[in-house]
């Protein structure tokens, strides 16, 4: 095996002049100094993917001296699956003679037990006859860069979500304004006209106007007020508690649709903070609305129970299902907004949101919210 280590001491060949040997030794030391001051990971490996040269950055990352690292392989430092991937990639480079250029790959840091990302280039190393005798690798830690990219992506997602949320709030305001004008306003206008007719009749001494229609309109207007009020805040939670409110919601759904609704609802009242109860109610409401509008389901099951230090809500339907990942792509993104709202509600409450679905296999939505402090042992 040819000597691949530039730090190894040169030997004097017969007839070799000492000054030339000293020059070679100086060059080796200079090369060693250069690769050691470079922050990137620089290494040379033999055909068996064992280290024969490594710079200070490699040695420091592995928690050894460069001399201790030599002769070892990635299997001595990294998790089995990662070391296997590195080995197979290196063997392909040496077998094909084709470099692997600027590849992003996960990396493990043995000293801290953490994971990161590297940008790696490996090229085959050849002898004077052109035979591949190993490889040279240069790897740069890009973990901070990847984290920055992820932060930017998350920021863009949140900005888009915020814009959609503002648009949704504006649409909700328009809807309520339309209901007030088109329904409640028109009914109150009719009631006003009836009252004017009754007042004129009374002033002119005419027979009293029949007010039955006016009373019916007032009753309808009161119902409209209740529905609008309920859409703004679920007062049933204050009156009945969370469990009974969700149970009432499921019963209303069953009466107004063709769905066969079943329930497994336990008392969980006052286990959550008030805002968490409202958010969980809204999640259940949105989820059931989705079942009615989009699932083409015949049956739905709603589960609400305490599980350890948490409250679990689960809505399961036997509908058409969908590809969850497709909701984040192209034209499907608009359809995912309601799901984003539900997930954001759960996240704001320190909870977990999970959605499972496949085409033709229905959908399962699960939300887990932590019980408010002081009730964990209740």
Angle at 258 between CA 256 and CA 264, to 5 degrees: 85
Quickly tell me which residue has 């230090």 as its tokens: 309
Instruction: Kindly state the average pLDDT of the residues 173-200.
Output: 73
Could you report the per-residue pLDDT of 307-337, keeping only the tens digit for each? Answer: 999 999 999 999 999 888 776 554 444 456 7
pLDDT above 70 covers a percentage of the chain that reads 80
DSSP H helices, 332-371, are 337-348
* Whole-number pLDDT of residue 161: 67
Q: Which of 342, 289, 298, 344 is nearest to 317 (CA)?
A: 298
Residues 271-284 as b or e (16 or more Cβ within 10 Å = b): bbbeebbbbbbebb
pLDDT, one tens digit per residue, over 250-301 is 998 888 888 899 999 999 998 999 889 988 998 999 899 889 988 889 999 9
Average pLDDT, rounded, for the chain: 83
DSSP for 6-39, written as a single string: TTSPP-PPTT--HHHHHHHHHHHHHHHHHHHH-S
3-state secondary structure of 60: helix
Q: How many CB atoms lie within 10 A of CB 257?
A: 14
- Evaluate the CA torsion angle 359, 364, 367, 368 in order and state its sign: negative
332-375 pLDDT per residue, tens: 444 567 788 888 889 888 999 999 998 999 999 999 999 987 65
pLDDT at 23: 66
25-34 pLDDT tens trace: 788 888 888 8
In 3-state terms, the chain is what percent helix, strand and coil (to 5)? 50, 20, 25
pLDDT at 12 over 60: no
* Nearest-angstrom CA–CA distance, 81 and 85: 6
Average pLDDT (219-237) is 69
Alpha helices in the chain (DSSP H): 18-37, 56-62, 66-69, 80-96, 143-179, 186-203, 212-232, 236-240, 242-256, 274-290, 337-348
Q: What percent of the chain has pLDDT over 90?
A: 46
What's the pLDDT score for residue 64?
Answer: 93
Helix/strand/coil for 358: coil
> What three-state secondary structure class fits 96?
helix
Confidence of residue 121 (pLDDT cuts 50, 70, 90): very high
User: The whole model's pTM is what?
Assistant: 0.48
- DSSP three-state, residue 274: helix
Residue 170, pLDDT > 80, answer: no
| Tally of CB atoms within 10 A around 32 | 17
Pair of tokens at residue 69:
């690292």
295, 263, 286, 271: which is closest to 351 by C-alpha? Answer: 271
In this prediction, residue 7 carries a pLDDT of 43
Range of 30-44, 74-88, 175-189 with top mean pLDDT: 74-88
136 DSSP β-pair partners:
44, 123
Residue 248 has pLDDT above 50, yes or no: yes
């Amino acid at each position: 095996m040819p000597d691949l280590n530039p730090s190894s001491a040169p030997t004097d060949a017969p007839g070799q002049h000492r000054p030339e040997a000293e020059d070679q030794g100086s060059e080796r030391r200079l090369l060693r100094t250069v690769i050691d001051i470079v922050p990137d990971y620089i290494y040379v490996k033999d055909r068996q993917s064992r280290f024969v040269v490594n710079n200070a950055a490699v040695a420091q990352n592995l928690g050894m001296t460069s001399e201790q690292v030599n002769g070892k392989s990635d299997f001595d430092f990294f998790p089995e699956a990662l070391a296997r991937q590195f080995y197979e990639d290196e063997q392909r480079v040496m077998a094909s003679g084709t470099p692997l250029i600027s590849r992003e790959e996960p990396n493990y840091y043995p000293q801290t037990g953490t994971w990161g990302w590297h940008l790696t280039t490996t090229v085959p190393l050849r002898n004077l006859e052109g035979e591949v005798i190993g490889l040279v690798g240069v790897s740069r830690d890009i973990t901070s860069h990847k984290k920055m990219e992820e932060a930017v992506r998350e920021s863009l997602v949140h900005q888009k979500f915020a814009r959609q949320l503002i648009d949704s709030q504006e649409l909700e305001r328009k809807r309520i304004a339309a209901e007030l004008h088109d329904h409640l306003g028109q009914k109150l206008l009719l009631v006003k006209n009836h009252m004017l007719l009754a007042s004129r009749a009374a002033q002119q001494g005419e027979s009293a106007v029949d007010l039955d229609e006016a009373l019916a309109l007032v009753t309808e207007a009161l119902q409209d007020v209740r529905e609008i009020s309920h859409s703004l805040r679920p007062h049933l939670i204050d009156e009945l508690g969370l469990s009974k409110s969700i149970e009432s919601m499921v019963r209303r759904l069953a009466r107004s649709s063709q769905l066969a609704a079943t329930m497994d609802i336990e008392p969980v009242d006052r286990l959550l903070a008030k805002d968490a109860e409202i958010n969980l109610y809204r999640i259940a409401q949105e989820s059931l609305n989705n079942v009615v509008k989009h699932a083409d389901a015949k049956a739905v099951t709603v589960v609400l129970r305490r599980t350890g230090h948490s409250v679990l809500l689960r809505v399961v339907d036997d509908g058409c299902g969908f590809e969850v990942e497709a909701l984040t792509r192209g034209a499907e993104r608009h359809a995912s907004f309601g799901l984003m709202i539900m997930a954001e509600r759960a996240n704001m409450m320190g909870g977990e949101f999970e959605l499972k679905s496949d085409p033709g296999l229905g959908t399962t939505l699960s939300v887990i919210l932590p019980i408010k402090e002081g009730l964990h042992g209740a």
